[in-house]
Chain A
Amino acid sequence: MTQENVRVLVVDDELGMREGCRKILEPEGYIVESAEDGQAGLELFQRRGDFAIALVDLNMPRMGGMKLIGRLRELDEDVVIFVITAYAAIETAVEATRRGAYGYIPKPFTPDELLLPVRNGIERRALAIEAKRLREERERRLLEVAFERTKASTIISCMTDGVLVINRDKQIVLRNNGMMRILPSCATLSLSSPLSALECPELEKLIEEVLSTDTGPVIASREVALDRCVYMVNASPVLEPNGDVMGAVAVLRDITALKKLDVAKSMFISMVAHEVKNPLAAVENYLTVILKGYVDGEPEKQRDMLERSMVRLNTLRTMVSELINLTAIETGNFTVKRSVLGLTQVVTEALDACRERAEGKKQELSFSCANGAEDVQILADRDSLFIVCTNLIDNAIKYTPEGGAIRVQVAQNGAFLKLSVEDNGIGMSDEESEHVFEEFFRVKNRQTVKEPGTGLGLSLVKRLVEMHDGAISLRSTPGAGSTFTLSLPIAARMGM
């Protein structure tokens, strides 16, 4: 067996030794290079490198063999170093091994006495290099796996959704932080606790469905209520590459907010239906009574009833348009055409639209504008502002008894323009005031019962005001009156 491309460094101060080694090794295919002392050997090694074997004499000028062994070992951990020496003192051998020598070849030696250890050395080197490669590869893979695992587990633990993994024996094998938040009992349980220890029968049932063998692997989704929250639970089997079920994974997503929205929407629809049905029923009632001839002898009464029907139909129409506006605002389809305008003009128009009703109730309807406020401009949608003003003035008229007084004022307050609508009407308790901006809220008492209305007016007003970056507030005292105050950001002063 000859060696291809195996380089051997021979360092010895005796030329005979150097040549002797060459003669033995070269016929075997080794590439032999030599140096006559430690320093030269080191330089050669540094320059050429890549020696598999170094045969080093101990006693040499400039740099001794002992020192050279240490230096070579530093440069290359794989090079196999043999000490060639006549003094086979045991301490010397031990010291050489400690410094990194692999073996010891006593001088003088036969060709075989050199070739055998060299061959061994080469084999050992190959093994060591292979072992090192494997070790490095394993370490790299381990690192990769560890990294992937930490990455996956970091992602899972950072998920806001709860994640719970169960093995085939229904033991918990993984639960993330989200899961522990959702089910605090989860945090106290150790891994491989039984699923039943969670004491959450709904979750258990769902996972059992997934793991059930008679139906085959299935994905189960259900809403589960836990501790005042509602979760959408999606449970699916964890499959082995061959399709066997290893366990199940359940992901819990908090849908409480969505649920609440859903309930609120249904409530809203049911309220709308109720509010539509009432006036319709009232009108139908009147018309039936009239058509069936119950009021035949009383034309006055008939007229009364028809007029009341008209009032109810009007409210219904207002309500429908208010609903349309509210929905449009909510879905972002409400078009506001903003322009620079004076609030006072809009207020004056609104007052004109309401004056007849106030006169009907013998109420005093007054308007005043604080110094210079008439020139103040705001950036707003005229139609929206008109709706806001008429609603506030209309309410003041409606909820103020005959002969009352309604005062509308516009004034500047810093960067805002203030509009206040004050009445000395029936007022409201603090409790009632809190709810006036809610859809369909109406105070029900003897004083309000005769007033038509849907309870949508102020909720629309509030939305519109907010769309204009303004704010609305109210002060009210039962039996004394109410003041609604609106503030809108000023755009500019006229002529500026």
Chain B
Amino acid sequence: MNAHPTRIVAIDDDVDALECIGYVLRNAGYETHCFATATEALAAMAQTPPDVVITDLMMETLDSGFGFARRLREDERFAKVPIIVVTAAASQRGFDFTPRDEHDLAAMKVDAVFAKPVAPDELLATIRRLLGAARPDTTSGGPAR
């Protein structure tokens, strides 16, 4: 059923945050593609659709990570792909982005929200949970340790 290894797209405009997430994901055995902007990610995703998308919230090219999530949801190719939002800005300009419950998450059209810095263990556990819920997964490797 799954011809390819689990593929993750990570987007963050902070090089180091991206580097860290990328390292942890690759280390866990995921095929990881890192992008600094949502536009670049979208272009690449059109070629090779990902199984999970991890995105920063405050991105310059699209209005925000949520706008990007909405774009993915409206695109039938990515409508079912789990989206994890990682953000340094739990609250920005008076808006509190921290979801309080499942309804909030649903309204945001994303599957999980983490505040930066995200603990690698938690991130990996969430990815595993989302992948398990999305489909029975045999190919994704667990973390190295």
CA distance A277 to B87 in the complex (A): 10
Task: Provide the bound-state CA to CA distance between A246 and B121, in Å.
Answer: 72
- Taken residue by residue from 249 to 289, chain A's Cβ proximity to chain B (1 for < 8 Å, 0 otherwise) reads as 00000000000000000010010001001110111111011
A200 to B89, CA, bound (A): 39
CB contacts (< 8 Å) of B13 on chain A: these are 444, 449
- Whether, in the assembled complex, B48 has its beta carbon less than 8 Å from a beta carbon of chain A, the answer is no
Question: Contacting A289 at CB < 8 Å: which of B24, B37, B144?
Answer: B24
Which candidate, A107-115, A290-298, A424-432, is the interface stretch facing chain B? Answer: A290-298
Q: Which residues of A contact B92 (CB under 8 A)?
A: 270, 274
* B60 adjacent to A444 (CB under 8 Å): yes
The interface-forming segment of B14-22, B77-85, B127-135 is B14-22
Digitize B16-33: 1 where CB-to-A-CB distance is under 8 Å, 0 elsewhere.
110111011001000000
Q: Which of A288, A309, A312 contacts B119 (CB 8 A)?
A: A288
Chain B stretch 93-145: residues in CB contact (< 8 A) with chain A = 93, 116-121, 144-145
Q: Which residues of A contact B16 (CB under 8 A)?
A: 279, 282-283, 285-286, 308-309, 312
Q: Cβ of A305: which chain B residues have Cβ within 8 Å of it?
A: 19-20, 23
Contact residues, A423-478 vs B (CB, 8 A)? 444, 446, 449-450
A338: Cβ under 8 A from any B Cβ: no
What distance in Å separates the Cβ of B97 from its nearest Cβ neighbour in chain A?
A: 13
Is the pair A274, B89 in contact by a Cβ cutoff of 8 Å?
Answer: yes
Interface residue B88 (Cβ < 8 Å from any Cβ of A): yes
Is A301 at the interface (CB under 8 A from chain B)? yes
Q: Are A294 and B14 interface neighbours, CB within 8 A?
A: no
Given A281-B116, A282-B14, A282-B117: A289 and B20 interface contact (C-beta under 8 Å): yes
A308 touching B19 by the CB < 8 A rule? yes
Q: Is B42 interfacial (CB 8 A cutoff)? A: no
* Complex CA–CA separation, A226 to B5 (angstroms): 60
Q: List residues of chain B with CB within 8 A of the CB of A286.
A: 16, 20
Q: Are B120 and A288 in contact (CB under 8 A)?
A: yes
Bound CA span A271–B13, Å: 16
- Which residues of A have CB within 8 Å of B58? 274
**Contact-size category for A:** 20 to 34
User: Bound complex: CA of A270 vs CA of B88, how far in Å?
Assistant: 12
Residue of A nearest to B93 (CB): A270
A285 touches B88 (CB 8 A): no
> Whole-angstrom distance between the alpha carbons of A333 and B115 in the complex?
37
8 Å CB contact of B20 from A267, A270, A279, A282: A282
B118 and chain A: residue at smallest CB distance: A285
**In the assembled complex, how far is the CB of residue A326 from the closest CB belonging to chain B, in whole angstroms?**
21
- Closest chain A residue, CB of each to CB of B19: A308
Most buried by B among A274, A294, A308, A446: A294
Please indicate the chain B residues that have their CB under 8 angstroms from the CB of A274 in the complex: 58, 88-89, 92
The interface residues of chain A lying within 8 Å CB-to-CB of B24 are 289, 294
B contact residues around A301 at 8 Å (CB): 23
- B30-48 near A? 1/0 per residue, CB < 8 Å: 0000001100100000000
User: Of all chain B residues, which has the CB nearest A449?
Assistant: B36
Q: Which residue of B lies closest to A297 (CB)?
A: B144
| CB-defined contacts of B37 to chain A, threshold 8 Å | 444, 446
List of A residues within 8 angstroms of B36 by Cβ? 446, 449
Distance in Å: Cβ of A389 to nearest Cβ of chain B: 27
B88 adjacent to A450 (CB under 8 Å): no
For A301, give the chain B residue with the smallest CB separation. Answer: B23
CB-CB < 8 A to B17: which residues of A?
A: 278, 281-282, 285
Complex alpha-carbon distance, A312 and B121, angstroms: 23
Least Cβ–Cβ distance between A293 and chain B, in angstroms: 6
Q: Report whether A285 and B117 are in contact in the complex, using a CB–CB cutoff of 8 Å.
A: yes
Docked-complex contact A289 and B120, CB < 8 angstroms: yes
> Cα distance A281–B57 when bound, in Å?
14
In the bound complex, how far is the Cα of B18 from the Cα of A380, in angstroms? Answer: 43
B24 to chain A, nearest CB (A): 6
- CB A275 to nearest CB in B, in angstroms, measures 10
Residues of chain B within 8 A of A285, CB atoms compared: 16-17, 20-21, 116-118
Pair B15/A449 contact, Cβ less than 8 Å? yes
Question: Using Cβ atoms and an 8 Å threshold, which residues of chain B touch A284?
Answer: 117
A-side residues, CB < 8 A to B, are 267, 270, 274, 277-279, 281-286, 288-289, 292-295, 301, 305, 308-309, 312, 444, 446, 449-450
The 8 closest A-B pairs by CB, nearest first: A282-B16, A281-B116, A285-B117, A285-B20, A281-B117, A284-B117, A277-B88, A444-B60
16 A-B pairs with CB atoms under 8 Å apart are A270-B93, A274-B58, A274-B92, A278-B17, A278-B116, A279-B16, A281-B116, A281-B117, A282-B16, A285-B117, A285-B118, A292-B121, A294-B27, A294-B120, A301-B23, A449-B36
- Give 10 A-B pairs besides A281-B17, A282-B17 with Cβ atoms closer than 8 angstroms: A267-B93, A277-B89, A278-B88, A281-B88, A285-B16, A285-B20, A285-B21, A286-B20, A289-B23, A308-B16
* Chain B positions near chain A (C-beta within 8 angstroms): 13-17, 19-21, 23-24, 27, 36-37, 40, 58, 60, 88-89, 92-93, 116-121, 144-145
